[in-house]
Amino acid sequence: MKLFAIFGDPVAHSRSPLMHNCVFKNAAINACYTRVHLQDGTKLKETFFALGLSGANITVPHKEAAFAACDEIRGFANKVGVVNTIINENGKLIGYNTDADGFMFSIAAFDNIKDILIIGAGGTAKALAARFLQDGLKVSVLNRSAARLLYFKELGCVTYDWKNFELQNYDLVVNTTSAGLKDEELPAPLEMIEQILENTRYVADAIYGKLTPFLQMAQAKNIIYKDGADMLLGQGVLANALFLNNTLAKDTIKRHMQKSFKL
Ligand code: NDP
């Protein structure tokens, strides 16, 4: 039996085991997917091999550590330096990023998106910013602290920290911070979020499984929003295809994986 896992801190909230096991069970694949609470990201590689894993997903806060741990990086992950899926290929660790395409999948119904504000400047923000720029969209990034913004500035984004933010009109605002994941915090000060929400058509949050305070405010203002569940499904389908070495069609994976959202 092949064994897969998700690494994160925290990781107890993750739906990935349910999603991937649903595919394995329904497609009669001899594999199992579990979770690993990893506090020290530098221990990722040795833990992965010690557990005899065939592949894994990586969540907050270890995606940059996962990039560093890989022997080879393929595709979009090379562009962003962030890895959310790793595969054991003959004892070598191969890294991929399926988050950004998963997100594009989730906002397919949002029309005429040209101008996007990303809140947060971590691994998810990096992947999304690079993916949006690839499609020729205008991307602004707002983060609590200035230190992580240089990367985005060099990429071609407009960047702000909480002290120098200048309000614009946006088509879409995406929360990629972990504010609201384990707490009831907003991703930026209340007044700033109020203004931002009054100047956007759509809102999305990478967090799933709960209506974050940020999405609660968007809902109260009748703004169309998506939580992270569709993004999660999209990245999961692409990761599962990699786990199974593309032996199962993505539509089939998606059909099986969607069942896990009803459990
Ligand atoms: P990182 O740890 O790489 O980045 C976290 C970012 O959040 C940083 O910019 C940090 O700011 C900011 N932040 C953290 N806490 C707060 C707070 N209280 N107020 C304001 N800003 C804060 O995380 P990831 O990018 O890997 O993940 C971010 C979120 O996205 C997580 O909640 C994760 O679960 C979710 N996610 C969901 C996916 C899905 O499929 N739906 C896929 C990937 C991620 P600073 O630089 O100042 O520290």
* Backbone conformation region of residue 158, classed left if phi is above 0, alpha if psi is from -120 to 50, else beta: beta
In the reported structure, the alpha carbon of residue 207 is separated from the centroid of ligand 1 by a whole-number distance in angstroms of 9
> Within this chain, do residues 219 and 112 fall inside the same structural domain, yes or no?
yes
**57 CB near ligand 1 (under 6 Å):** no
Q: For the segment 208-239, what is each residue's pLDDT rounded down to a tens digit? A: 889 999 999 999 999 999 999 988 999 999 99
Counting atoms of ligand 1 from 1, which one is nearest the CA of 147? Answer: 46
Which tops the pLDDT comparison, 126 or 187? Answer: 187
Question: What's the chain's length in residues?
Answer: 263
Q: What is the mean pLDDT of the chain?
A: 96
Q: Which residues are catalytic?
A: 63
The total of structural domains in the chain comes to 2
CATH code at 105? 3.40.50.720
Q: Does pTM top 0.75 for this prediction?
A: yes
Counting atoms of ligand 1 from 1, which one is nearest the CA of 233? Answer: 40
State how far the Cα of 199 lies from the Cα of 215, in Å rounded to an integer: 15
> Within this chain, do residues 132 and 223 fall inside the same structural domain, yes or no?
yes
For position 254, what pLDDT does the model report? 92
Which tops the pLDDT comparison, 229 or 71? Answer: 71
State how far the Cα of 108 lies from the Cα of 196, in Å rounded to an integer: 22
State how far the Cα of 66 lies from the Cα of 58, in Å rounded to an integer: 7
If you take atom 20 of ligand 1, which residue's CA is the nearest one?
187
Domain that holds residue 23: 2-97+230-262
**54 CB near ligand 1 (under 6 Å):** no
In the reported structure, the alpha carbon of residue 41 is separated from the centroid of ligand 1 by a whole-number distance in angstroms of 16
**124 CB near ligand 1 (under 6 Å):** yes
For position 59, what pLDDT does the model report? 94
The β-bridge partners of 72 are 94
Counting atoms of ligand 1 from 1, which one is nearest the CA of 13? Answer: 34
Residue 231: closest CA among 59, 72, 5: 59
**176 CB near ligand 1 (under 6 Å):** yes
> Within this chain, do residues 25 and 65 fall inside the same structural domain, yes or no?
yes
**160 CB near ligand 1 (under 6 Å):** no
> Within this chain, do residues 67 and 7 fall inside the same structural domain, yes or no?
yes
> Within this chain, do residues 245 and 160 fall inside the same structural domain, yes or no?
no
> Using omega within 30 degrees of 0 as the cis cutoff, is the peptide bond preceding 17 cis?
no
> Within this chain, do residues 220 and 250 fall inside the same structural domain, yes or no?
no
